[in-house]
Amino acid sequence: MKLAIIGGGSTYTPELVDGFARLRAELPLTELALVDPAADRLEAVGAVSRRIFAKQGHPGKVLTTDSVEEGADGADAVLFQLRVGGQAARNVDETLPLQYCCVGQETTGAGGLAKALRTVPVVLELADRVRKVAPEARIVDFTNPVGIVTRALLDAGHDAVGLCNVAIGFQRRFAAELGVAPERIQLDHVGLNHLTWERGVKLDGDEILPKIIEEHAAEIASGNQIPEEVIHHLGMIPSYYLRYYYMHDRVVEEERSAPSRASEVAAIEEKLLTMYRDPSVDEKPELLAKRGGAFYSEAAVQLLASLVGGKGDVQVVNVRNDGTLPFLDDDAVIEVSATVSGSGVEPLPQSTLPAALRGLIAHVSAYEELALDAAIHGGRDRVFGALLAHPLIGQIDLADKLADALIAANAQHLPWVEPK
């Protein structure tokens, strides 16, 4: 099996490579192609990836190239994990909205819209190039904002599914707390990417969420940075990203008094790249855990193995709604548990959601539709409209000011903005 990674020069990549090496029985790769235009990063990441494979006895070949066509040629699957504008653009996403008393975050709110505007056109262009040399390849999108990017790919006719590591993180956390193997845990995970709740947790088919909340709510609340009383009130577990909605003003104050996550990650990446260039380093460094993406490799291996090998197991993915949540358009992309096999991805049926979830999901899904329209077709009016529709913004004056600010800050990445 050949897998191509678009954005293979990411410092995340050795996490993936380590997973591919450890779990090669599930995903028997013969060739891994790392594709990235950043030659220095790609050389360092490619070199450490080969050493990781060699140390763990993996026979697969690691190819590095700046050519999408060379990397994707003949691939069975292609994984997208790119960041247009790098950490510098992310830093703007996280800091600019704070000037307007809005949350600064790379996937949520105004920062998330800016990232979508930069990213969607690039991903679509790359996916078209992939399709010319690997028309049957399955596309797995790990590029944020995952829901919007996955919908863009699906709307363009690509065979794509979105992946996030939030659900597998919950699964592994619950399994560790219970002292059981992770595969015995199945989640009733529902929502949109970075807007999800665990409204059910089954151990060997038996519902145990009430027990988890009763015995572990304080610990979960601390990890998710959401008050424990919210978990008890909901009777379910919101993901970390719900704090941007439930605690917006408090988060803004926290962000204003702390360094941006982008600046922290940039410093971590420099150290990681130095380690990757050391010829004695042949395993993923412990520092990589601070980069984020916990269990990313396990989630990717599981998904790729099922898409290519047809296992037919249940995983949490980003997929077309197609009536699964009846209050959303069929074309919306949702994040739910689904059966994954070689023939495709099928969301599991969902029981009726509480009104508190339906309202917020519908609101953000409408924003995502407008955000995608703005990313594809451009124009200030579309950017303004998406901001006005977002529940974290939603005011004319704010949307007006943020539209101009986001466009100005990202002009070099927006093909519809005329250079000055």
Q: How many CB atoms lie within 10 A of CB 294?
A: 16
DSSP E strand boundaries for 175-312: 185-192, 195-203, 206-207, 237-238
**Checking phi first, is residue 337 left (phi over 0); if not, alpha (psi -120 to 50) or beta?**
beta
DSSP state of 182: G
Q: Which residues are catalytic?
A: 241
Pairing verdict, β 333-341 and 344-347: antiparallel
C-alpha radius of gyration, the chain, whole number:
21
Length of the chain: 420
Beta bridge partners of 162: 141, 318
Closest listed residue to residue 308, CA positions, set 188, 134, 149: 134
Are 93 and 111 within 8 A, CB to CB? yes
For residues 295 and 36, what is the distance between their CA atoms, to the nearest angstrom? 23
Rounded (10°) CA dihedral 134, 139, 142, 148: 120
* Beta pairing partners, 341: 344
Q: Which amino acid is at 151?
A: R
Helix, strand counts (H, E) of the chain:
16, 13
Helix (H) or strand (E) holding 62: strand 61-65
- Rounded Cα–Cα distance for residues 379 and 373 (Å): 10
Contact 288, 152 (CB under 8 A): no
CA 178 to chain centre: 27
Identify whether the C-beta of residue 339 lies closer than 8 Å to the C-beta of residue 312: yes
Q: Which residues pair with 215 in a beta bridge?
A: none
Q: Which residue has 């990441």 as its token pair?
A: 45
